Amino acid sequence: MKLFRHGPKGAEKPGVVDATGGLRDLSRVLTDIAPAALGPDFMSSLAALDPTSLPLLPPDTRLGACVGGVGNVVCIGLNYADHAAESGLKVPGQPIVFNKHSASISGPNDDVWLAPGSQKLDWEVELGIVIGRTAWHVSEDEALDCVAGYCLVNDVSERAYQTEYEGQWAKGKSYPSHCPIGPWLVTPDELGEVQSVDLWLDVNGERRQTGNTRTMIFGVATIVSYLSRFMALQPGDVIPTGTPPGVGMGHKPPLYLKVGDVITLGGRGLGEQRQTVVSSPVF
């Protein structure tokens, strides 16, 4: 099952993709694809629905982030050895954990904002985990039972804020529009083997990243179990799991995004995203 959210930003409604790829409106069945709807019982009831009985949406419908009401975006850094190498950092012995502010979340095809004065805006295609039920001190054998599904994430990063300013990485990760999520929330049975997902990202039509989740240092079950030792993961929490090599920072000389650049990215079974870089609006 592939779930999504559609409509104006801040007023998205739930939807489901039918067997032919058509977009179907779920709003007469549930209010939103949000924490309360992500538990296994509710997800099973959605899977039993006949999508063809639901209203068909226009193909140009705006898609929002595939999960609403996200409480936390808990990220894993340097989770591909070749990405650690291009960053000039050693391969971690334990997962590196950092946060993106939840206000950075945006739809898969929404514009990415270039912050005033930003000169080192970068891209990162990632597999995202969406938690479906509380995970607290769970073993690796139990971890996948806590997962509602998976999604595509672009962990947009301002590298100067991340690495040249004192303090934690969150400053370089949390600007509004710097966490496009979706288009789909893909259930585990729909995705299949999560440690065999091809990922790719292009900038202006040129391939920049190619990878596969089989080369992750820490797999999905390990990540969920590890995080649950330090925090009680809640339904709706999103966990971007790290990026393969090819980020702008890793090029010699580095390549960074500018206004007008177009980012496209995708993953096997996860769908595709497309963003245009624009100047941040003046508030």
**Distance, CA of 77 to CA of 269 (rounded, Å):** 23
pTM above 0.85, yes or no: yes
Quickly count: other Cβ atoms within 10 Å of residue 9's Cβ. 11
Q: Give the CATH number, domain containing residue 228.
A: 3.90.850.10
Q: Residue 37 falls within a domain, yes or no?
A: no
Domain residue limits at 234: 69-279
The answer to the question of residue 247 being in a domain is yes
Does 3 map to a domain? no
* Nearest-10 Cα torsion for 150, 4, 206, 124: -40
Q: How far, in Å, are 71, 179, 281 from residue 101 at the CA level? A: 9, 9, 19
**Angle, CA 224 vertex, CA 221 and CA 230 arms, to 5°:** 145
In a domain, 39, yes or no: no
Whether 94 is covered by a domain: the verdict is: yes
Beta strands 105-106 and 179-180, pairing class: parallel
Q: What does the alpha-carbon distance between residue 211 and residue 202 come to, in Å, rounded to a whole number? A: 12
Q: What is the pLDDT of residues 175-233, one digit of tens each?
A: 999 999 999 999 999 999 999 999 999 999 999 999 999 999 999 999 999 999 999 99
Any domain includes 25? no
94-153 pLDDT, tens digit each: 999 999 999 999 999 999 999 999 999 999 999 999 999 999 999 999 999 999 999 999
Is 54 within the bounds of a domain?
no
Instruction: Identify whether 231 is part of a domain.
Output: yes
Q: What percent of the chain has pLDDT over 90?
A: 90
Split into its structural domains, the chain has a count of 1
